[in-house]
Amino acid sequence: MADAAASTRGPAWDPRSAEVQADQIKAYDALRRRCPVAHSDYLHASLLRHADVVRVLHDPAAFSSQVSSHLNVPNGMDPPQHTAYRRLIEPYFGAQALAAFEPECRRIVRGMIDALPDRAEVEWMDFARDCAMRMLCAFMGWPDTLHEPLRDWVRKNHAATLAQDRATMADIAFEFDAHIRTQLALRRADGLGGADVTTRLARERINGQPLQDVEIVSIVRNWTVGELSTMAACVGILAGYLAVHPALLASLRADPAGLPAAIDEILRMDAPLIANRRVVRQPVEIGGTLFAPGDRLSLMWASANRDEAVFGDPDEFRPGRDPSLNLLYGAGIHVCPGAPLARLQLRIVMEALLERVKRLEPMPGKAPVRALYPTGGYSSLALRLERT
């Protein structure tokens, strides 16, 4: 099978090249139009078409999520192990939990937007990263003293991931785990009597047994590591799009009920998260390439969600599309459990922006700088806003 696979491989490409990193979305569009599957030593076999990505997402028997030797709860698990953990964590993102969190989230966001300078340059990505950090810590029940250590951690983790520096990545993961273990230890010292998310996790049981610290750390890492980067990317992408589409900003201010669909559509066009991984479990053919058990795949969200075969012109803003086609939060059994929280946070950020900002425009002479893998959006976005 390996020889057959090699004979039908798609084109090789370098996702770390300067050309790709300068504008990942543009690069993936060009690659998708050339082939359904591309190959690299960095992202292995990259699936670029919507149909192929959806096929993998809905077939966990053929495509495993156990892509790492490290415990990854529940993202890196397959059924039936995945099922029990998924059932445990979903209530944390249920309607009741989010209704309780919404007032505090709204208070944080409004205060941050009110603190921005009027009619002056704003580095929006600084705002976006800080906003993601503050919302996350508030949701988890973590103190403000963690903001700067976590902000520094995100920077180091991003650089190590791009470089694929395994030793540094391991050290950075250990550093993050230490922050979580410290928060757990503080709560246990207080008798686990609190109602915050971290304390509740420390009281959880699965299959009749208390969750082990390694399991709690893995759950929290999944919620927070992705949240910090992707939420910041989302806030940047949304503001960047509205800044160059003032008519849409005015339309949404007049009818904020259209915000949820508009947010999802903008993030379909410009992915906040580039890719996700799977491992092949049985011989299979995808896009003319034969794969053997053990072969690794990258599901390219940033390409699949712009596939012309599904969306026509991928840059056409059309919020009335069938929402089930949008892979912003994935699909299948691993669809993002935190999607309701992310949608709440993004809606609150955009509502506060529409309420408090009359004009939003790119800063003259300051071109946006696109983000580097594994995140999408921008690393720098200079905007000027005018208050209502």
Average pLDDT rounded to a whole number, residues 263-292: 96
Average pLDDT rounded to a whole number, residues 299-319: 98
Mean pLDDT for all residues in the chain:
93
pTM across the whole model:
0.94
Average pLDDT rounded to a whole number, residues 124-132: 96
Average pLDDT rounded to a whole number, residues 376-386: 96
Count of CB atoms within 10 A of residue 276's CB?
Answer: 20
pLDDT band at residue 103 using 50, 70 and 90 as cut-offs: very high
Query: Residue 10: what pLDDT?
Result: 63
Query: Residue 1: what pLDDT?
Result: 33
Average pLDDT rounded to a whole number, residues 365-374: 92
Q: Pairing state of beta strands 357-362 and 382-387?
A: antiparallel
What is the longest distance spanned by two Cα atoms in the chain? 64
Query: Residue 347: what pLDDT?
Result: 98
Average pLDDT rounded to a whole number, residues 267-286: 97
Query: Residue 3: what pLDDT?
Result: 38
- 341: pLDDT strictly greater than 90: yes
Residue 230 CA to its chain's centroid (Å): 4
Query: Residue 170: what pLDDT?
Result: 76
Each residue of 47-70: pLDDT tens digit? 999 999 999 999 999 999 999 888
Sign for the pseudo-dihedral over CA of 45, 370, 221, 268:
negative
How far apart are alpha carbons 382 and 388 in whole angstroms?
20
Q: Which of 359, 345, 123 is nearest to 243 (CA)?
A: 359
How far apart are alpha carbons 300 and 284 in whole angstroms?
18
Q: 2-387, which class in CATH?
A: mainly alpha
